[in-house]
A and B are shown apart, each in its own frame.
Chain A
Amino acid sequence: MRTWTRFGVCASICAVMLFPLYAMLVVAFTPKSELFNGGTHLWPARFTTDNFTNLFDRFPIGTWFTNSVLVAAITTAVAVTCNLLAGYAFAKLHFWGRSPLFFLILSTMMIPAQAIMIPQFRMVSALGIFGTFWAVILPSAATAFGIFLARQFMQSVPDELLEAARVDGAGNLTIFLRIVLPLCKPLIAVLVLLSFMAQWNDFLWPLIVLKTPELYTLPVSLRFLQGQYDANYGGLMAMALLTCLPLVVLFVLLQRYFVQGLARTGIK
């Protein structure tokens, strides 16, 4: 297929894929009165930052933003560490029950989160962490997808490297830290991004287990805006923009590693 045909097809698809984000951007800056006048809203007559200033007036955005960052960062740290360790173990260490255990862990991906929400918060209150950030961090750090990616990726680390290190007398931990991890930078990027993103975007669980509004994370604010009867799209889009902007920035910065990392999970 000729280059320009390919470009044309791709560009059109991209235009369609970009349209929702464009809509969000435009409406975030459209004044409320214009939103209800039945027009197309594709290019408002007036631009305003009222939607944003309103948000900052009504809600403790700064606090919620900090909460989101804190919770997402810690969850990511815990989850990625656990996933790397476990991934390495499943990829390179031989221990009794390794295969069945791995499949057992994979099967947890099939559990729908909402179906176990009630037992999960009974667990959380039994552990005495209900109402604290740990109630959000710990359950979210338990994810099988990360272990799966880590194991796939680490399988591509050549065994000879590890053998050589062992012959030199290195212990397992040293091999892991000094040899394997430095080779895993793309994997770490993928795990960090996916974990941070999943935690940042979660709204239902934090809403239920964080009973104090001061502890809320940013996406929860979107539920406030949806209100009991409201359809204030201007405010909603403004908040939505604030909510996804940090992730978009993070993603654009890390995207090279992300693609590399996924590639080397060797899904083949």
Chain B
Amino acid sequence: MSVTRRQFLAGATGVAASTWLTGCGGFSKSSSDSSTSKKTVTFMTWASDAEASAFKRLASAFEAANSGVTVDLKIVPYAEMFTGVDAQLQAGTAPDVFRVDYPTMGLYSSTDQLLDLTGHLDSTLTSDFIPALYQAVQFDGKPYGVPHQTDTTCIVYQPAMLQAAGITSVPDSLGSAWSWSEFSDVANKLKASLGADVAPFAYDWQAAGAYRWLTWLFEAGGKLLESDLKTAAIVGAPGTKALEFTRSFFENEWVPKNTSIKGAYPDTVFISEKIAMSFVGDFLLPGIDDGVKNKFEWKATFQPQDARASSDLGGNALVATQQASDPDLAAEFLRFMVSADNMSAFCEEAVELPTLQSLVGEKLNYATRPDLMPIFAQQATTMTADDVAQVTVPFFGQINTLLADQLEQCFTSGQSVDDTLSNIANAVETAAKG
């Protein structure tokens, strides 16, 4: 079979192209996988714009402080972050360091995926961490990560709308936070004054935030789990009270119908002025600021309290993986990220709360609304070690999912309070066994 010139040319082009392509980065295992003379720390995380810029700065600073070391910062979309981490852990190509929220961390620390940091952290550092948060990164008494930052929820509101409804005073100290009945009053007044299009408030329990409902449970004096962390404790008077109260948000039309568990996030609704108040996490402040700009004035106040005050455990830890090629270097990077200077720099830029006690009292120079952050910082102190322990059990991911499902059924599909509570209790105990 004779080969025509055209065929030959086509073949040659094909060979040349494929040679070039195999040289091209994406087609072979990237060189960062193999060990090179330069030491590298791969750090995988999701990040908001503000957080991303802070991470990049700190990565460069680490490189500057340690010659011969590169920090390979990989920022990925939030929705698929942990699917990616899981995939890479299974494939044996996990990053050296990654960021993870406290409840999810238990899944990795309890299955031997993370580096045990005992011996890498000295006691001056560990005793400076907020105890509840240092507790959150431990499994079996050993630390598997460092608490990097924390977030919590407070109420942001439009003073103009509240004044128009005749609400003259808003709590300005933790002790004077609204009680549940005072809060109900506020909601009713707002409902009467605001008209059909605007609702009094919305709560931030959407999607993976379903666990924030537990704040109400804790405020009522209840618990999710007994101290053995395996038996459900939710069925009882506090549980019933909390669930009835939160369900009444929908019955009384205090919240927009589409802001239940599987619904829209409240910060967007607040920006478009469809609610007067919104429960939001501090990490949303930059986004709200950007969306509101100068349209209206907005301030913050504390969450309501009942038998006690409480809040939700937000924020993330930084962890190193067992697969890290250089465990000492990875630990070094972690220590670097939680040193007082670097932590405060990060928190100021990202508008999040620090985890070191020595920083809690200080007035940090937050990039957005520094006037509001002290409120969040104080609200975070209402969490007890017991609260934290309940939301950081290794199987908490499953609890979060079942909470989301059951609460959604109760709020929007008319499932009874008793059924919901017992369903949750059963599912929690099944998860604890599995």
Contact = CB atoms under 8 A, between A and B. Distances in A.
A and B touch in the complex (CB under 8 A): yes
A233 to B, nearest CB: 10
A134 B27 CA distance: 6
B29 A132 contact: yes
Contacts of A223: 77, 79-80
Nearest to A220: B77
Q: Which of B26, B265, B271 has the most CB of A within 10 A?
A: B26
B291 interface: yes
B245 interface: no
A40 interface: no
Contacts, number: 96
Interface stretch (A95-103, A151-159, A160-168, A210-218): A210-218
12 contacts: A32-B291, A67-B26, A125-B92, A130-B87, A130-B91, A132-B26, A174-B1, A207-B77, A208-B80, A208-B84, A211-B44, A223-B79
Contacts of B84: 207-208, 211
A226 B29 CA distance: 29
Interface string B38-50: 0000001010110
Interface residues on A, range: 35 or more
B183 interface: no
A33 interface: yes
Interface of B: 1, 21, 24-30, 33, 44, 46, 48-49, 74-80, 83-84, 87-88, 90-93, 95, 264-265, 267-268, 271-274, 284, 287, 290-291, 293, 295
Given A36-B271, A125-B90, A130-B93, A212 B77 contact: no
A185 interface: no
A228 B46 contact: yes
Contacts of B26: 67, 70-71, 132-133, 210, 215
Contact of A133 (B27, B33, B268): B27
A67 to B, nearest CB: 7
A7 interface: no
Contacts of B30: 131-132, 212
B271 A122 contact: no
Interface string A168-193: 00000010000000000000000000
A211 B93 contact: yes
A149 interface: no
Residues of A contacting B: mostly: helix
A62 interface: no
Contacts of A213: 74-76
Contacts of B44: 211
Contact of B272 (A36, A211, A230): A36
A38 B272 contact: yes
Given A131-B33, A132-B27, A36 B268 contact: yes
Given A121-B91, A207-B84, A231 B265 contact: yes
Contacts of A220: 77
A177 to B, nearest CB: 10
A150 interface: no
Q: Which of A33, A132, A228, A230 has the most CB of B within 10 A?
A: A228
Contacts of B75: 213
A43 interface: no
Nearest to A74: B21
B91 to A, nearest CB: 3
